[in-house]
Amino acid sequence: MKTTLTFTLTACILSGCQTTTDPSQGGFLNGVSSINSGAYEQRSATLDQQEAAERARQQQLRRELGQLQGEYASLQRTIRQQRARIAANKLPVSSSLNARANSSLKPAPSSGDADAQLAALRKSIAAARAVTSELAGISS
């Protein structure tokens, strides 16, 4: 009887020492206390919300990446067409413009994380737009 009372009293005192509501920290008694207080369910719901937000962000990044890849491919087709017209008309093109056009015809960057890919692709698109603008000036 005395042992049971001592154990119960010790458990009550130790459960009152809870310093965190994170059920993954603080040991067994803290975990039991967190489950009883609802902290476990709250933490689980928070993690689920964070996961859903991250999935939505990744989906949005994939959509944007796809759109930018399509735009880059379109600019590459335009550059090829403009260069063909210039070559057919035997118009002169500076070596620097020719080098930039060749650079714009390289495949879209596909390494790194999605944010890095988007940044590199935006830069490539800006360069390709400038090339198409200059080539249009020559061919017109």
Per-residue confidence (pLDDT) for residue 104, from 0 to 100: 93
The number of C-alpha atoms within 13 Å of 131 and in the hemisphere containing its C-beta is 29
Beta-carbon count within 10 A of 104 CB: 22
Q: What would the pLDDT profile of 66-95 be if each residue is shown by its tens digit?
A: 999 999 999 999 999 999 999 999 999 999
**pLDDT band at 15; cut points 50, 70, 90:** low
CA distances from 136 to 40, 78, 91 (A): 63, 10, 12
Instruction: Kindly state the tokens that stand for 52.
Output: 């859903």
**pLDDT band at 115; cut points 50, 70, 90:** confident
**pLDDT band at 11; cut points 50, 70, 90:** low
C-alpha angle 17-39-41 in degrees, rounded to nearest 5: 155
Least confident of 28-32, 88-92, 110-114: 28-32
Distance CA(115)–CA(65), nearest Å, equals 9
Task: Calculate mean pLDDT across residues 89-109.
Answer: 91
Amino acid (1-letter code) at residue 88: A
